[in-house]
Amino acid sequence: MTNLTYTYECKADSKGRVALPGGLRKELAPVLNNGFVIKKSVFYNCLELYPRSEWEKEMAGIDKLNRFVKKNIDFIRKFMAGVRPVELDISGRINIPNELIAFANIKKNLVLTSQINKIEIWDKENYEKVLNDEGIDFGTLAEEVMGQSQKPDE
């Protein structure tokens, strides 16, 4: 499993190319040569960049859905909309397709942030709005999400 930890800021050029920051390339070193999959996020106007091995795990779970249940087909169609394979070029850049740039409202300044096994790609301004949303009390959220979970050794 890929365990990504950090948040990075970088820039997209006018053609949608993004040079992955050096620290992120170090984190991704074991999987860099296998390529990536980029897609729209389900909950936010940002993108998700999966190392190929993590994408294959995601697909294995989705493959278990019964295709004779309409809501499963509808989910798969929406989930897969805009999915693209991406590779690092010789300069260590990925090229974000125009359709995905439009979806995520990407301008120039980006934030690439860990979601443990994948990377979210945000327009910096949109990321800061979501991060600073006063409607979310982080202390309460932390208690609700993490307060009831057991420690791994329990």
CATH number at residue 121: 3.40.1550.20
**DSSP 3-state assignment of 118?**
coil
Q: Is the pLDDT of residue 1 over 80?
A: no
Residue at 2 is within a domain: no
Mean pLDDT of the chain: 92
Sign of the CA dihedral with 68 first, then 69, 72, and 77 last: positive
Residue at 72 is within a domain: yes
pLDDT at 136: 86
Residue at 152 is within a domain: no
Q: Is the pLDDT of residue 2 over 90?
A: no
pLDDT tens digits for range 45-73: 999 999 999 999 999 999 999 999 999 99
Residue at 104 is within a domain: yes
Kindly compute the dihedral angle of the four CA atoms of residues 143, 148, 152, 154, in this order, to the nearest 10 degrees. 140
pLDDT at 149: 67
pLDDT at 131: 92
Give the domain range for residue 17. 7-146
Give the total number of structural domains in the chain: 1
Residue at 151 is within a domain: no
Q: Is the pLDDT of residue 154 over 80?
A: no
Residue at 138 is within a domain: yes
- Give the count of beta carbons closer than 10 Å to the beta carbon of residue 88: 17
